[in-house]
Structure 1
Amino acid sequence: MERSRGVKPHAVVVPSVGQGHINGAMLLSRSLATIGFDVSFVYFSTYYGKLREINRLVLPDPDLRGRIHVQVLEDAFEPGDFEKLIFTSPAMKENLFDFILGEQRKSVRRPTCLISDIFAPWTLEVAQRACIPRIEFSTSNAMFYVFITNLVHLYSEGIFPEKGSPTKWRTENPLMLNHIRGLPPFSSEIMPQELRFNDASHPFVKFFNEVESCSKYSERLLIHSLTDLEPNAFKALEVQGIKAYGVGPLPNPTNKPSSEQAECISWLDSQSDHSVIYVAFGSLATLSVEEMQEVAMGLEGSGCPFLWVIVNDPQTQEELPQMLPEGFLERTKDRALIIRWAPQLEVLSHRAIGGFLSHCGWNSTLESLGKGVPMLCCPLRAEQRLNCHYICEEWSAGLEMMRTDTGGLEKDFVETGVRALLHGDQGLKARENAQRILRLIEQCHKEGGKSAASLQRFYDDMRALCSMSEGD
C-alpha cells in the first residue's frame, strides 16, 4: 500500500549493463514507487541509445511516470564501446554526482539513497561524495552474491585458480568448496569458469574483487530472490553480517502484445495443453550457427510443437534460412513458430506451454517458475550453471540437458531432453515441483508475504532516514 503522509523517500536507481539488469532495476523501481518512493531511474547515454535502437528500452508504465523519472546522463563512450560499460568512465561518475547534487539543492525530492546494481561498484565513490547511503541491488540470486563476497578469500587461500582444463564441462573429481561460512560444501563447477581458472590479475577477476570490496561499504542489500527458495544462502549472508532483504520475485506486469507478438499467442491458442516447448536463450546469449543447427535438428527430431525465439544478432545480420538447416522451416512449418521476439510472460502463462528450454538466466528462471512451467536447462555463461543447479538439483523443477565434454550442444541431447520434459516421468515430476514453487511465489508479495514485508522494512528504514534529514 502506498504511503502518502509526509516527505517521500527518493531513491536514485542505477542499473548495470545488460537487458536483464536493466529490467530488474525497473521492476524494483516500480515496486518502490508503488509503496511510496519517488524514483530517479538513471540511464547512461550509450546504452540508452543502444536499447532504443533495438526497441528494448524499459520505461515505466504511464500510471507510474509521475513517480519514476527517467534521467539520461552522458557517459562519454563511443558507440562501439558499449561492452565497456560494465566498467566506467570519469564522465559517468561526475555526471551522476552532479545530478544527485542538483537534486539535493531542491527543497523537495532530495535523494535519500543511491540504489546501485552490484555490478556498478563505481557508484560507491559517488554515494560517499554525495553523503547518501549506497544500497546494493542484485538481479541474481543470493547464492551468487555469497560466492562473490568470498572470492578474495578463495584466491588468498590458494583455492583459486583451479587446476585443470577450463574447456571441460565436467570433471571426474570436481573441487568441493567447503570454505564459505554458513554454506554446506558445494561443487565449484556450478560457478563461472572465468572466476575458477583465471588468476587474480585477470581483468574479470579484478572487477569481481572490486564488487566484493565495495559491498563492505553498502548500507543494505536488496536481492531479487525469495528467502524460501534459498534458505542456506540467506542464512550465510546473515552469518557474514550482511543486512540482506529478499524482495523477489518482483511483480512483472504484462503489456499488450504487438502485432507480431499477438501472432504468437494466436498460434499457441491452436495448440493442445502442455504440448509446446518454448525455446529462448535470452537477449545476450547468442548461439553460433553450428549450435543453432544442432538445436534445430533436435527440436525437429523430438516431434514436439515448439515456439522458438531467435534474437536478431546485429553482428551477423544473418537471415533465418541461412542460420538453420536446409529445408528445416518447410519441414516443421505445421508444428513450429519461429519469431524474433516474444512476450515471454504471456507465453509462459499460456496453457499450451509444457516446458521452457532456456539458458537459465535468473530473470527467465523466476518468470518460468513463477508461471509453474518446468525447465529444460541449457546454461551458457555467468552464473547460469548455478541457476541450473538450483532448478534441477535443489528444487527438482527442471531437467538439465546433456552436453559434450566441452559443453557443446548436439541434436540428440536436445531431442532427448525435450521428450523427457514434455512426456517423461521426470518431466511430470518437474511440472509438479514447478507448480509448488508457483504457489510459493504467489504468496511472497501478498499482504504478510516475506518479500512484501522486506520491501516494507526497507521503506520504513529509508523513511526514517528521510525524516532525520528533514530535521537537520
Structure 2
Amino acid sequence: MEKKQKERKGHLVLVPCPLPSHMSPMLHLAKLLHSQGFSITVIHTQLNSPNQSHYPEFSFESIGGSMLESYSAFDGDVMLFLSELNMKCETPFHDCLIKMQLCSQYNPISCIIYDSVMYFSAAVADDLQILRIVLRTSSAANYIGLSILDENDCHSTQECRLEEPVAGFPFLRMKDMPLFSTQKHTRKVLTCIYNGTKTASAIIWNSLWCLEHALFEKIEDETLVPVFPIGPLQRYSSNFSTDVLSEEQSCMAWLDKQAQSSVVYVSTGSVITMSKDELLEMAWGLANSDQPFLWVVRDCLVNGSDGVEQLPREFHESTRSRCRIASWLPQQKVLAHRSIGCFFTHNGWNSTIESIAEGVPMLCWPRVGDQRVNARFVSHVWRVGLQLEDRLLREEIDRAIRTLFVDEEGIQIQKQAKELKKKVEISLRQEGASSDFFGRLVKYIRLQETMISLSNA
C-alpha cells in the first residue's frame, strides 16, 4: 500500500453519497482521476458501500458504522435522509482524516472531492485546511432551480400557479420545479448544500457544456469559482467490472433478436416506487402500444411489494411474444443496444444523460427531486423526448409511444436525439469541451498542490 501511494503524485480523498445514483458518478470520476496519476482514497458509509474488489487500484476507508440501515427507513423522504446522514458523518469523517494524516501508508492529502449533498465534508476540510472541490451529480438547470426554491421559501405549489412560468427561467413552469416528498427539512438541507457548493474552491459537474453552457456561465459568474463540466462521466470508464447475471444475459440475447430501434426500454430507477394502479396503467399502456418492450420491475417497486406479482395473467398472455421483464439490468449497456428505440424513464439525471449520450429518445415520467426539471429540458429545450403530464394513464402512454415511433413529431425527436449524441461524442474527443475541461481540472488540482506546498515550505 505504501509503495503504491508513493509512486503516484497527489492524494485525493473522494466522498460519495451512498445513494446509487450519486455513488456511480463519483466512482467514474475516481477512475478518471486515477488514470491521470493521482492516488485515490474513497471514504464511504457502510450503507450501500462500493464493492472494493471492483476497484483494486483505490484505497477505501469506512465511516459511520451501521448508523443508517437503509434509505427506505426514511419512507422516501430524501431531505430527512440527507439531514441524518450529514449529522452522523461529520465526526467520524474528521477522525478518519486525522488517522490518515498520521498513517505512514498514505501520502499527504492534496484535495477532498465530495458529493455536494455530503456537505459535512466542507466544515471538516476547512477545519483541517485541506483544499476541497465539490462534485454535482445533477444538471446545472436543477442547481438553478433549487437556488430559486432556496430563495423563495422552498416551494410555491398553489394550484392556480402551477402553469405559470418561473421568473428568470421562463421555459420552466412552477410545476417543473424540483419537488420533494416533504418540506420539513428542505430549507436546512438546501442551505447547507449551497453554502458548501458556493464556498468550494471549484465545482465539477457531471454534465456537458453543449447542453447547458449558458447556465454554467451564469453559475460561474455568481459563485466566482471555476466550473468544470466534464460529463458524461460514465462514458470515460464504461468497462467497469460487473456481476454477470443470467437474467442480464438472457435479456441481452432477447434484445439481439429484436428489430433495430424498435424496443421500449422501461426503468424508473433504483429508488422510485409506484402504486398498483400506476403499475397497471403503465403495463396496459405498454401492451396497447404494440411495440416490443423491456421492463425493469424491481422487487419493491410497488409500495414495497413485488411488482411482477401484481401484473394480471391477461397482461402476460397478451404480451408474451414481445415483452421481457427483469428485476435488474445494466442500463448503460441496454441503452447502447441497437434495438432500443425509446427510453420510458423517471428522468433521474444519470438516466437522462445516459440516454442523451446514446441518442435514445425519451418518454418522461418525472416524480420527485430534479426529475421534473430534467424532463422539461428533455421535452422542451433539447427536444429529445415527450413528457407525460400529471396522472399516469394507459391511453396517454399508448399515444406517446406511437408518436415517438410513427408520427412526424417522433421522427423529428429521433433526429434531434441523434444530433445531440454526436455533440456528446465530439465533447469527449481529445479537443472536445468535456475533455478540455477535464484537462483544466487536472491542471487546477496540480497548481493548487504546488501553491500549498510552497506556502508550507
Structure 1 length normalisation: TM-score?
Answer: 0.86
User: Counterpart amino acid of 1:299?
Assistant: L
Q: 1:161 to 1:309 in 2, by over 3 A?
A: closer
Cα deviation, residue 314, structure 1: 8.0
Superposed CA offset, 1:48-91 (max 9, x none): 3xxxxxxxx455745xx22x222222245252675454123655
Match of 2:111?
113
Superposed CA offset, 1:373-418 (max 9, x none): 11111111111111111111111111112x3xxx221110111111
Pair 1:193-2:183 in alignment: no
Matches within 5 A, 1:381-396: 381-396=368-383
Of all paired residues, the percent bearing the same amino acid is 26
Match of 1:86?
82
Pair 1:398-2:385 in alignment: yes
Match of 1:137?
135
**In 2, distance between residues paired with 1:163 and 1:371?**
35
Q: 1:246, 1:454 within 8 Å by CA — same for their partners in 2? A: yes
Q: 2:119, 2:196 within 8 Å by CA — same for their partners in 1? A: yes
User: Counterpart amino acid of 2:90?
Assistant: K
**In 2, distance between residues paired with 1:235 and 1:138?**
16
Match of 1:380 among 355, 362, 367: 367
Q: 1:281 to 1:460 in 2, by over 3 A?
A: same
Cα deviation, residue 445, structure 1: 2.4
Count of aligned positions: 438
Match of 2:33?
32
User: Counterpart amino acid of 2:23?
Assistant: I
**In 1, distance between residues paired with 2:337 and 2:301?**
30
Q: 1:142, 1:225 within 8 Å by CA — same for their partners in 2? A: yes
Cα deviation, residue 30, structure 1: 1.2
User: Counterpart amino acid of 1:360?
Assistant: N
Cα deviation, residue 39, structure 1: 1.3
Q: 2:14, 2:41 within 8 Å by CA — same for their partners in 1? A: yes
Matches within 5 A, 1:265-304: 265-304=252-291
Matches within 5 A, 1:47-446: 47-48=48-49, 57=50, 59=52, 61=54, 65-66=56-57, 68-75=58-65, 77-79=67-69, 83=74, 85-87=81-83, 88=85, 91-106=88-103, 108-155=106-153, 161-162=155-156, 164-165=158-159, 171=162, 173-178=163-168, 186-194=172-180, 202-240=184-222, 241-250=224-233, 251-254=236-239, 257-313=244-300, 318-401=305-388, 403=389, 407-446=390-429
Cα deviation, residue 151, structure 1: 4.1
Q: 2:31, 2:237 within 8 Å by CA — same for their partners in 1? A: no
Match of 2:442?
459
Q: Which runs of 5+ in 1 are unaligned?
A: 49-56
1:92 counterpart SS class: helix
Match of 1:52?
none
Q: 1:277, 1:305 within 8 Å by CA — same for their partners in 2? A: yes
Q: 2:116, 2:134 within 8 Å by CA — same for their partners in 1? A: yes
What CA RMSD, in Å, does the superposition of the two structures yield over aligned residues?
Answer: 2.6
Q: 2:89, 2:120 within 8 Å by CA — same for their partners in 1? A: no
Q: 1:370 to 1:161 in 2, by over 3 A?
A: closer
Match of 1:447 among 419, 430, 450: 430
**In 2, distance between residues paired with 1:300 and 1:163?**
34
Superposed CA offset, 1:263-293 (max 9, x none): 0010011111111111111011122111011
User: Counterpart amino acid of 2:31?
Assistant: R
Q: 1:8, 1:463 within 8 Å by CA — same for their partners in 2? A: no
Matches within 5 A, 1:5-44: 8-44=9-45
User: Counterpart amino acid of 2:450?
Assistant: S
The structure with the greater share of residues assigned to helix is: 2
Q: 1:253 to 1:92 in 2, by over 3 A?
A: same
Structure 2 length normalisation: TM-score?
Answer: 0.88
User: Counterpart amino acid of 1:148?
Assistant: L
Cα deviation, residue 247, structure 1: 1.1
Cα deviation, residue 186, structure 1: 4.1
**In 2, distance between residues paired with 1:152 and 1:320?**
36
**In 2, distance between residues paired with 1:5 and 1:429?**
54
Q: 1:143, 1:233 within 8 Å by CA — same for their partners in 2? A: yes
Moved more, 266-275 or 73-82: 73-82
**In 1, distance between residues paired with 2:405 and 2:246?**
29
Superposed CA offset, 1:82-111 (max 9, x none): 545412365521221122222223455211
Cα deviation, residue 295, structure 1: 0.2
